[in-house]
Structures are given as structure tokens and as C-alpha cells.
Amino acid sequence: MLSVGALDLARLRRLHRAAVAAWSLRLAGLVVAPVTYLHGIGQTIYLLEPLDDVCARHYGQPVDDAVAFPGGHPQPWSWFPLSHKCNADFDMVSAWVNPLVVISLVVAVLAAAALRVLRRRHHDVAAAAVARAVDEP
């Protein structure tokens, strides 16, 4: 019968806890990013109201035709960074939306990389523990 040492069990438990934390961070990043992005889109879409009314009524901002309507056409809002300007000083998208989207995606990517490293370490520790257990009489 194979017996795994206490040190090996402690290492495996630590790796397991780290993997659970990494999965949680990855999941949080993958949930927060799209929810935040959709919130930002929701701040800019008013289908039945013209931009002049939206900026004045909802945000209390004047519309600068040179910014909102360059060349006489409505400014298409930017997908990334998410932006829809009423004038040069005011954007309908909150300032925290774009940084939070980027930060949550970076956290998700780093957590995925950490999971790969932890998976490899878990395999190495488990293989070493089994090899030691086989070698012991």
C-alpha cells in the first residue's frame, strides 16, 4: 500500500487552495468584465431620443456640434474604449467602466496562467510523492 508523507499532503493541500483561489479570480474576472461593459453600453444607448435631448435631459450637458456631429454626421460611439461624448469635456460612459473592464480581463488571464502553473506543480508533487512511496520498503 502506498503512503504519502505529511509534507506531500501539506503541499498538495496548499496547491489545491491556491487553485481554488485562482479559479475564483478567473471566474470573477470573466463575469465582471462583460457586466461592466454592458453597463457602459447601457449608459450610451437611447434609441428613441436624439443626442441633444439625451445630453441635456439625462446628463445636464450641452451638446457641442463639433464633437458630437463631426462633419455634420452623428459621432459613432467607440466600442473600445467605450465612449460617447456630448461635448469635449463630458462622456456619457462613466470614467470607471473602461479601466474596470481591462483590469478584470487582465485578472482573468493571469488567473488562467496561474492555474496552468499550479496544475503542473500539483502533477509534479503528486508524481514525486508516489515515486517516494514506491521506493520506500
Q: What is the pLDDT of residues 107-125, one digit of tens each?
A: 999 999 999 999 998 888 8
Q: Is the pLDDT of residue 1 over 50?
A: no
In whole angstroms, what is the distance from residue 82 CA to residue 54 CA? 17
Q: What is the pLDDT of residues 6-30, one digit of tens each?
A: 777 888 888 889 999 999 999 999 9
Q: What is the pLDDT of residue 100?
A: 96
In whole angstroms, what is the distance from residue 89 CA to residue 74 CA? 17
Domain ranges of the chain: 19-135
pTM: 0.79
Between CA 108 and CA 115, with CA 114 as vertex, the angle to 5 degrees is: 90
**Average pLDDT of 69-86?**
76
Q: What is the pLDDT of residue 135?
A: 75
**Average pLDDT of 57-85?**
79
**Average pLDDT of 23-48?**
92
Which residue bears the cell 450637458?
Answer: 61
Q: What is the pLDDT of residue 109?
A: 96
Q: What does the DSSP assignment read for 70-131? A: GGGSPPPPBTTTTB-EEETTEESS-TTHHHHHHHHHHHHHHHHHHHHHHHHHHHHHHHHHHH
Q: What is the pLDDT of residue 137?
A: 62
Kind of pairing between the strands at 85-87 and 90-91: antiparallel
Name which of 27-31, 49-53, 64-68 the model is least confident about.
64-68
Average pLDDT, the chain: 86
CA dihedral 94, 99, 102, 107 (to 10 degrees): -120
